[in-house]
Structure 1
Amino acid sequence: MGSKRQTVVLFLAALTVVLSSPLINELQPGEEWPQRNSVRQPVADDQTEQTLTEDFSTDDPAPAAVVEDAIIVAKTIERDHEPKKIDYSGSQVWQVSTTKSGARQVIGRLRRRNLISTWGGNQSSVDILIKPNVVENITRVFKRESIDYNVVIEDLQKRINEENPPLDNDEIELQDRRGHRMTWKQYHRLEDIYGFMDYLAKTYPSIISVKSIGKSFEGRDLKILRISNGKSDNKAVFIDGGIHAREWISPATVTYFIYQFAEYFDVESDDIKGIDWYFMPVVNPDGYEYTHTVDRLWRKNRKPGYRACTGTDLNRNFGHHWGGKGASNSPCSEIYRGSNAFSEPETLALSEFIKSSAANFSAYVTYHSYGQYMLYPWGYDNAVPPDYKDLDNLGKKMAEAISKTGGSQYQVGSSSGLLYPAAGGSDDWAKSQGIKYSYTIELSDTGRYGFVLPTSFIVPVAKENLAGLRVLASQVIKE
């Protein structure tokens, strides 16, 4: 017991150091971040401790030390007992045609029985993940129902092993000289991403500041970086990534935008300089880290739920038409909507920040993968907002810029119309808050690699989407 108590004390000491460390350049010199009122923290520590303490009855003989240990364990999610890394050897990804009548119903039944999980899809096909022990069964079902399919990935673990190779020695040496570890030749862990953001705030304090707007469920910072020339009449654009943990190309692309604007701000166009840019590269830090350490294909956050199922789909947890079509009430589902709107600390912190800010947000862009889509509201139902033509026209211009730069073809349309209804999305909520140009951009590819896009795609994908972002900036400045 003594050893255990010593470990707890050491952990608390380390935790105190982390939580009490000052933010890097939290306020831009001579100017606070604009806000109408203070941003609420998602869950106060005293509320958490009170709830946990109340779980022990008054006549429970457990000593106070046991209660204290339980609180520590709950807050740290027993990080020292991480489960074994999941191996996807032999798992396959199929692209299944849904043009035949009844095909979607068959796929739905298989998914509800946990025989398959869905990756991406469109109006004519669905990509599904199949574990090796059911490949023969699924093959028989599709043959019996005359459903066509193609095997896109024959061994998923092999593809995962090849996705994110280590850097060579020259690149590692360059990292040390540069002062940060970001390269865009690799998918980086959260520590590297946050270190890069802090480095920029220290290096360019006149235009860049970094702020934590809250904590994730497991206690990680939810960091936003702002790039601004400090002019009070600037319009603002909010960009985020990493809502879904497994979509690694999303944070990589958003950090590439940050790098370009930060390093070359002096020579940027007036459109870029005239906007206050807010970047949140990783909305779901707990899930993102979990994809690196345990399950490469984890989608949700890491908040424990009911029936021993973990996680909420953060992109079904926002408050505009929460709980509607395309969102599940089952905690075990990959599209679980949560117990209520903004039940998750990550979505609550993001929404409170935007609502509390005095920044003049004219656009909200959230980057996901995959499929190469430029999507605008509404997602909750097959409907569009009154100004959908403006959204459609700008989306097509952005898609054209992407195509001219890198050759990728992006389809443009409403989320529900082009794909399927999905209530509780962040873009719908942003639009409901009066942010005119609200988009979800599904990055590359169209299914060959899916969520395990090799690192060689990072720069090409980021560059072409930067061209699209410049088109959006031009439109924002015009209005």
Structure 2
Amino acid sequence: MLRAVVLLLISVAVGLTVGELDHGYKGYHIYEVTPKTLEQSQLLHQLSLDGYDFIKEGRLLGHSSRVIVSPAQFERFVKLVKSEQIAYTLLNENLGASIDEELALLKLQRRMNPITGKGRLSTERYYTHEEILNYIDDLAVRYPSRVFVKTVGWSYERRALKTITITNGDQRKGKKLIFVDGGFHAREWISPAAVLYIIDQLVEQFEQNADLLKDYDWIILPVVNPDGYEHTQTGTLARMWRKTRQPYGACYGADPNRNFDFHWNEEGASSSACADTYAGPTAFSEPETIVVRDLMHSLSDRGVMYLTLHSYGNYLLYPWGWTSDLPDTWEDLDEVARTGAEAIENATGTVYTYGSSTNVLYIAAGASDDYGFYAGFNVSITMELSGAGSIGFNPPVTRIDEFVTETWIGIRAMAEKIIEKY
């Protein structure tokens, strides 16, 4: 009853009808499943390849995964987990209603608190791609000796992709650098939010973090996939969109994190244009991944660390993602990831699992972290941020600050370790 009243109040405030709040993903469930045997883990992974949308997946025994189950999949799914004695818990019995509430609140916040593009951004809501670009453009105006913004390419739908270069203003040539990006997967809203917090700490809170900029520059691409990111904010049916938005026949988009030309379209990627993990018709078919590729190669002579922020699951992952084999320098990668995980746990109690992508999470060929390492970065890490609630990609706005602050603790510790080692 209370939820219905809240929905009604929000719908009136933002000009939506009750009918508009009750469509798309109606009756979709989210289950948490926890494998206890290798066979159960393999079975769950097979489900992810058979069209089940795993919004959190891990291969370690005892680690839970979360899966969206449509009404059409419900009977088969429940029968399967029961027969295989896989532990499962219903987390959300109506994903559509949860998304409706979230989008209505987002629209209300934007109407009540429009962003001018001037000054600091708070951690009290999620921002549009345009608002993010306006923010970094304003930083370049306010801090002209330390901040530089550059348009490095365009998305398929002609949205600008801009990097922000953050320095300490000493104008030294050839400084080492850390390259950070976010927003690869459209529905992972907390990723750009965490990137914005990194920018805030390095620019607005420069005095507290000057040591991170003494011998290193930071180059940050806040949203790799702006078309998909904006699409997820247009309505309930679009909210769980993951890919880019370039059309392929009757379907749209490729998974940008399967589109890199390093073991492209091998295991963990799909050749089906309608699949969430579609690798694209060719490697680098997406203009967005071409931008990241070109940045990596242009920066690799100075680039020491590549960090890409995703959500969710509390992981710090390093190469390889295309094979369970480890690179020759895996101990260096492990040391950096472990440093970040320990810093977060010591400060907040939150536990991050760290290790190579395939051995800790799942095999995923053609990903950006593997390519960054292949392109020459000494350390390449994917950080899967914490999640909250049953959807996870977008912690409630009341918890954004908690999660981005936690994330920064780990990133700062990893950066300090990089500076110490390299």
Give the TM interval when normalised to the shorter protein.
Answer: 0.7 to 0.9
Question: How far apart are 1:170 and its partner, in Å?
Answer: 12
> Which residue is equivalent to 1:444?
386
Asked if the contact 2:164–2:221 (Cα under 8 Å) also holds between the matched residues in 1, the reply is: yes
Of 24, 35, 43, which residue of structure 2 is paired with 1:87? 24
Look up the match of 1:36: none
Aligned to 1:274: 215
Distance 2:28 2:217 in 1: 45
- 1:199 aligns to 2:142 (yes or no): no
Greater Cα shift, 94-103 or 468-477: 94-103
Distance 1:210 1:127, change over 3 A: same
Amino acid in structure 1 at the alignment position of 2:239? R
| Deviation, structure 1 residue 100 | 5.1
Give the Cα–Cα distance (whole angstroms) in 1 for the partners of residues 246 and 214 of structure 2: 39
Aligned partner of 2:129 among 186, 190, 194: 190
Question: Equivalent residues in 2 for 1:124-143 (5 A)?
Answer: 124=61, 125-143=64-82
* 1:162, distance to aligned residue in structure 2 (A): 4.2
Q: Give 1:246-261 correspondences, 5 Å limit.
A: 246-261=187-202
Supply the AA of the counterpart residue of 1:278.
Answer: I
8 Å CA contact 2:201–2:209 kept in 1: the answer is no
- Is the contact between residue 94 and residue 150 of structure 1 (CA under 8 Å) also seen in structure 2? yes
Q: Is the contact made by 1:85 and 1:293 (CA closer than 8 Å) also made in structure 2?
A: no
| CA 1:243–1:169: 2 relative to 1, 3 Å | closer
State percent identity of aligned pairs: 39
CA contact (8 A) 1:236 1:359 kept: no
Contact 2:23 2:96 in 1 (8 A): no
AA paired with 1:470?
Answer: R
Match for residue 328 of structure 1 among 251, 267, 270: 270
8 Å CA contact 1:370–1:447 kept in 2: the answer is no
Q: Which residue of 398, 405, 419 maps to 1:463?
A: 405
Q: Aligned ranges for residues 32-71 of structure 1 at < 5 Å?
A: none
Q: 1:87 to 1:273 in 2, by over 3 A?
A: farther
* Runs ≥4 residues deviating over 6 A: 167-171
Measure, in 2, the Cα distance between the counterparts of 1:287 and 1:350: 16
Cα distance, 1:238 vs. partner? 0.3
The verdict on how the C-alpha distance between 1:231 and 1:85 changes in structure 2, with shifts beyond 3 A counting, is farther
1:221 to 141, 157, 160: 160
Secondary structure class of the residue paired with 2:135: helix
1:106 Cα deviation (Å)?
Answer: 5.2
* Mean Cα deviation higher: 341-350 or 150-159: 150-159
What SS class does the counterpart of residue 233 from structure 2 fall into?
Answer: helix
What's the Cα RMSD here?
2.6
- For 1:281 and 1:421, the matched residues in 2 are separated by 25
Cα offset, 1:460, TM superposition: 1.4
Please name the residue that 1:289 is paired with. 230
Q: How many residues align?
A: 392
* Aligned position for 2:176: 235
Instruction: Report the equivalent of 2:312.
Output: 370
Match of 1:302 among 245, 270, 274: 245
Aligned residue type for 1:92 = H
SS at match of 1:409: coil
- Residues 137-156 of structure 1: matches in 2 within 5 Å? 137-156=76-95
Secondary structure of the residue aligned to 2:393 is coil
Structure 1 residue 382: Cα displacement: 0.2
What's the offset of the Cα at 1:327? 0.9
Shift, 1:476, TM fit:
2.7
In 2, Cα distance between the equivalents of 1:100 and 1:397?
Answer: 30
C-alpha separation in 1, matches of 2:110 and 2:97: 24
**SS at the partner of 2:184?**
coil
Cα distance change, pair 240–386 in 1 and its aligned pair in 2 (3 A): same
> CA separation in 2, counterparts of 1:467 and 1:341?
35
**Structure 1 residue 455: Cα displacement:** 1.5
Q: Which residue of 1 aligns with 2:9?
A: none
Residue 122 of structure 1: aligned partner: 58
The TM-score normalised by the length of structure 2 is: 0.86
Indicate conservation of the 8 Å contact 2:300/2:377, yes or no: no
Partner SS state of residue 151, structure 1: strand
Equivalent positions of 1:67-78 (< 5 A) are none
Cα offset, 1:201, TM superposition = 0.9
The residue type equivalent to 1:118 in the other structure is F
Compared CA separation, residues 121 and 267, structure 1 to 2 (3 A):
closer
Deviates more, 1:297-306 or 1:446-455: 446-455
Larger CA Rg, structure 1 vs 2:
1
8 A contact 2:259–2:283 mirrored in 1: yes
Q: Determine the C-alpha separation between the residues in 2 that align with 1:223 and 1:459.
A: 24
Alpha carbons 1:163, 1:452 under 8 Å: kept? no
Q: Contact between 2:388 and 2:396, CA under 8 Å: does it hold in 1?
A: no
Counterpart AA for 2:58 = N
Deviations 1:48-93 (A, max 9, x none): xxxxxxxxxxxxxxxxxxxxxxxxxxxxxxxxxxxx9962232111
Decide whether the 8 Å contact of 1:180 with 1:192 is kept in 2: no
Deviations 1:290-340 (A, max 9, x none): 10014110000001114x111100001111211211111111111111112
